């Protein structure tokens, strides 16, 4: 059901880039963070790619990222939450530009079109006659794909309700006073008691995708100091919210990692100016750190959890846990089917696309961005 993905998610992906998601498939449907990440007020240039599936948008963005690395820059790659091997956007902070996919479901229009924003219509490379001949199949496949997403979101919503039941059971077993003291102790050690206006940025490091749950470890790889929170019966959100409150006004900047299923929950806090990351423990990644000889510390929430109280409700919790796993499995199956249908659509559009033209567009764009 789950799959951990590191920065080398595919063979053609720049491994020297940072990796995040720009959107999420949640219990409340598709949630986009495009307007926050690709802020047209602060960027000098925003290129919005338009065109159907398989036209080459993701390939162009990957090649822009590679071109940035070859020139000594550090691009940030934003992956598609449904298909993490594909890109939704690439941001080069040093040159203050971004290239993004502006098609549904994250339809995006440049705010200052012509001045700072530009639309690159890759649909100009289509043989529209071929697409018109396939219109019935395109419409049919698109409808089936949309239904898959609708079912997936309904299943995610059901799973979220079950998770709330699990959290309500766990809430009765947590010593909130002790967990608050632990948060206060951590804050007093790492956060200065200075007055700051804390700048909040949202980051998405994990996603519900066609491959299951996928996670990037960009904050952990960027930080010199890593803490991993060992969750016990879904109590991690309590600690993260307390730590978030403790950090407000005491750090200049805080990156809040949103939970892949519910953006109102937190699964990571990253403090760039302190080079400090606090995130949910993941055994495989931590084992890799140990092998590499990199130090990290554990915050074990089991210290604040009363197992004697939990035993009274253990049967209820286990039943809810089984329901959650079953619902998530079915939701991931729907996303996988949607991905297979999307691949069929990509094939149809690919056969109608003049890729020599796409290459010309790409070369011209890269020359323009890095001149």
Per-position b or e across 345-366, b if 16+ CB within 10 A of its CB: bbebbeebbeeeebeebbeebb
Give the model's pLDDT for residue 3: 39
Residues 6 or more apart whose Cβ sits within 8 Å of residue 125: 51, 55, 353, 354, 355, 357, 358, 361
Give the model's pLDDT for residue 8: 40
Give the model's pLDDT for residue 334: 98
Model pTM?
Answer: 0.94
In angstroms, the CA 297 to CA 210 distance is 32
Asked if 207 contacts 213 with a C-beta cutoff of 8 angstroms, the reply is yes
In angstroms, the CA 353 to CA 249 distance is 52
Give the model's pLDDT for residue 237: 93
* Binned average pLDDT, 10 residues per bin, the chain of 371 residues: 39 73 97 92 93 94 96 95 96 96 87 84 95 97 98 98 97 95 95 84 96 96 96 95 95 96 96 97 93 94 95 96 98 98 97 96 96 86
């Amino acid at each position: 059901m789950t799959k951990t993905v590191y920065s080398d998610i595919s063979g053609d992906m720049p491994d020297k880039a940072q990796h995040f998601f720009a959107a999420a498939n949640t219990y409340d449907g598709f949630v986009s963070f495009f307007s926050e990440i690709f802020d047209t007020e602060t960027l000098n240039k925003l290129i919005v790619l338009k065109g159907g599936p398989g036209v080459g948008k993701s390939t162009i963005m990957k090649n822009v990222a590679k071109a940035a690395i070859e020139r000594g820059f550090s691009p940030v790659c934003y992956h598609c939450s449904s298909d993490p091997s594909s890109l939704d956007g690439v941001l080069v902070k040093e040159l203050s530009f971004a290239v993004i996919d502006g098609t549904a479901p994250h339809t995006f229009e440049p705010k200052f079109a012509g001045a700072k924003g530009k639309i690159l219509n890759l649909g100009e490379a289509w043989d529209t006659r071929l697409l018109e001949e396939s219109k019935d199949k395109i419409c049919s496949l698109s409808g089936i794909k949309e239904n898959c997403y609708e079912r997936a979101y309904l299943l995610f919503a059901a799973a979220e309700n079950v998770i709330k039941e699990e959290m309500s059971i766990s809430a009765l077993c947590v010593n909130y006073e002790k967990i608050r003291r632990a948060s206060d102790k951590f804050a007093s050690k790492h956060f200065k008691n200075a007055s700051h206006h804390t700048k909040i940025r949202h980051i998405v490091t994990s996603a519900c995708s066609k491959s299951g749950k996928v996670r990037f470890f960009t904050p952990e790889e960027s930080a010199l100091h890593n803490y991993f929170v060992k969750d016990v019966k879904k109590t991690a959100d309590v600690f993260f919210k307390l730590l978030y409150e403790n950090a407000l006004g005491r750090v200049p900047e805080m990156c809040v990692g949103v939970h892949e299923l519910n953006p109102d929950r937190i699964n990571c806090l990253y403090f760039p100016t302190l080079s400090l990351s606090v995130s949910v423990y993941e055994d495989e990644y931590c084992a890799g750190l140990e092998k590499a000889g990199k130090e990290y510390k554990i915050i074990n929430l089991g210290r604040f959890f009363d197992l004697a109280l939990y035993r009274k409700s253990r049967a209820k919790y286990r039943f809810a846990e089984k329901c959650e796993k079953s619902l998530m499995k079915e939701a991931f199956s729907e996303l996988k089917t949607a991905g297979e249908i999307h691949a069929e659509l990509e094939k149809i559009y690919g056969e109608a696309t003049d890729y020599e033209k796409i290459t010309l567009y790409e070369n011209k764009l890269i020359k323009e961005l890095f001149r």
